[in-house]
A and B are shown apart, each in its own frame.
Chain A
Amino acid sequence: MPGILRIAYKLLINDRAKYAALLVGITFAVFLMIEMTSLFSGILSRSSATVINIGASIWVMDPAIQTVANSIPLPSFMLDEVRSIPGVKYAVPLYSGSALLKLHDGTYQAANVIGLDDTSLFGRPELINGKIEDIFAENAFIAVQDSEFYKLHNPKIGDEFELNEHRGVFVGLAHVASSGLFGIPTLYTTYNRSLQYIPNTRFTITYLLVEPKTPEDVAAIKKAVTADGYLALTHDEFIAKITDFYTYHTGIGTNMMIMTLISFIIGLSISGQTFYTFILENIEKFGALKAIGAKSRELVMMILFQASFVALTGYGIGVGLCSGMIWMARLYLPDYAAIITPMNLSVAFIMVVLIAVLSSYVGVRKVLKIEPFDIFRG
């Protein structure tokens, strides 16, 4: 480390009270920013759980659909219509809806039921217990063993339940990439059984899942579906549409953004104020350094180094604390929907850099303004 930066480091570290105040301010801000954005990421990820877990390349739906949860059924002819579009390798129906289960102890539990195409079982989950072919057995359902699984009273294979006075049997336990947003368990069965067990409207296909022959066929398929008055979205587009809905049309995104901004302002206020006081206390010494022969850019480097050092240390501690808290929370609250993504970390990092830049800006201005003559003049 160059000597001048080592001096800056020692000036910072040895002023323990201010160093602690700076660290607390930045750590707190980072903690809040990452916590807020992680919660939001968790909510967004869960809101697209069905899309992520099924994994189809193209989803055909009613244009009025805003999220995967509020489905508007498609007429049956659309299945044949889509299958007839050049470029479609295959297309299968998917049922997705809610149902109320009566568990073996007589209690009721809402669940999300996914009905997979009977022929292909396209979008089936990864089984961790049982065999996939058992889904064709009488009354067969596969339960997803996720954070909501305990709400089914942790059933084993062979355990029974009732759904609209139909007998249901758990024939397998599965694992999926993402749990749903609404805190209810998920069951998989066949498309036809889901229609048979759950009361339906005239149209029954919730989504059509389409696989194009080649990636180049996607545009033509989307165009053809649009011509029929429906909407075809790729996997990523559908997730983006859902994300967009939760971000801009529910208030969740706005609230999270406000909270993140408040965290930023808190961090900036604490660290800005403390750093300014720190510079003010040393301003005459910086002037003396100038008189001795330090160049302005060296003094600016010292201040930027101090601000960056505090910011990065606070960032590291904040990320560590937030990760630890999310880990702890998940131990006791399986539903806890917070995910730290590279995007969250980047957003927090950018904001911390901004805090460091803004905090040091005033200090840099002060140091550039101080004239060695002022030191002599007292």
Chain B
Amino acid sequence: MAKAAIQAVGINKSFGQGQAMTKAVQNVTFTANFGEMLYVVGPSGSGKTTMLSMISGILRPDSGTVKLLDTDIWSLSSDDLADFRLHKIGFVFQDYHLFPRLTTAENVAIPLILQKRDWDEAIAEAKKDLEIVGLKGRADMPPVSLSGGEQQRVAIARAIISRPDILILDEPTASLDGDTGRNIVSFVRTKILTDKSCIVIITHDSRIYEFADRIVKMEDGKVTDADMENLNAQ
């Protein structure tokens, strides 16, 4: 039986108060296993981002528990939680959020620098990871000089540099054309995913569903295991 990397049980999250209250996530129970590439899909406003934030230690749920790697993350202090994210989770943001004034290698090295690793050592590691994501020779260039697909690869290199157990990608193909998007996800699937890691992708993009091991669908803040064939047909 596959070991769970992420276990969320009965998590709820509401925003606002009184009549203006919106139940963004309702009693969601959710598991993602090691060696699995899991998609969370659903229309806008379905609660995907809220759930992703709660299971990645960014947004505290109103109730329920979230265990990552057998650690109840919401019982950690804020400093310990930040350290947990830094060492155990890699994030790829929809808009990449690369610093335009830093070089590509410096951007990639940020998690190691936050881990207080030696600067030169961190940059050397970043250059190696840029090679892994196919951006050899771009290390000293600013991210703004790269294409959208290349910037996405830089963001992936930054997410994987500390070899996290869990990788979370938020709409990784949203700003990319079809081929580039597929290439990126294919690359993540074949080069990044291992038996000791778990990848969660939030996406609207049905063109990349074929790379998923499992797809979880969210609607109105509730999660249902989706019918893969149905989704692929959409």
Contact = CB atoms under 8 A, between A and B. Distances in A.
Contact of B110 (A7, A295, A372): A7
Interface in B73-98: 78-79, 82-87, 89, 91, 93-95, 97-98
B135 interface: no
Contact of B91 (A3, A14, A285, A291): A291
A375 B85 CA distance: 15
A287 B89 CA distance: 16
Contact of B82 (A3, A288, A293, A373): A293
Contact of A292 (B102, B106, B111): B111
B53 A373 contact: yes
B176 interface: no
Contacts of A4: 113-114
Contacts of B93: 288, 291, 375-376
A292 B114 contact: yes
B122 A3 contact: yes
A378 B95 contact: yes
Contact of A3 (B53, B84, B99, B117): B117
Given A284-B95, A377-B49, A291 B58 contact: yes
A289 interface: yes
Given A373-B59, A375-B93, A376-B58, A289 B119 contact: no
B116 interface: yes
A290 B93 CA distance: 12
A376 B49 contact: yes
Given A2-B116, A4-B113, A293-B114, A10 B102 contact: yes
A292 B95 contact: no
B232 to A, nearest CB: 26
Given A3-B113, A3-B116, A373-B58, A378 B82 contact: no
B interface bracket (residues with beta carbon within 8 Å of A)? 35 or more
B97 A288 contact: yes
Contacts of B84: 293
B83 to A, nearest CB: 6
Interface string B97-133: 1110110001000110110111100100000000000
Nearest to A15: B101
A256 interface: no
Contacts, number: 87
Contacts of B106: 7, 10
B52 to A, nearest CB: 6
Contacts of A371: 58-59
B165 interface: no
A293 B87 contact: yes
A289 B114 contact: yes
B170 interface: yes
A288 B111 CA distance: 11
Nearest to B87: A293
A284 B99 CA distance: 10
Contacts of A291: 56, 58, 85, 91, 93
Given A11-B99, A284-B97, 15 more contacts: A7-B99, A7-B106, A287-B97, A291-B58, A293-B84, A293-B85, A293-B86, A293-B89, A293-B111, A295-B78, A373-B53, A376-B49, A376-B53, A377-B53, A378-B94
15 contacts: A3-B113, A10-B101, A14-B101, A15-B101, A285-B98, A288-B93, A288-B97, A289-B110, A291-B91, A293-B84, A293-B114, A294-B114, A295-B78, A371-B58, A375-B97
A-B CB proximity, top 8 nearest? A293-B86, A3-B113, A288-B97, A14-B101, A293-B85, A372-B58, A373-B59, A373-B53
Interface of B: 49, 52-53, 56, 58-59, 78-79, 82-87, 89, 91, 93-95, 97-99, 101-102, 106, 110-111, 113-114, 116-119, 122, 158, 170
Interface of A: 2-4, 6-7, 10-11, 14-15, 282, 284-285, 287-295, 298, 371-373, 375-378
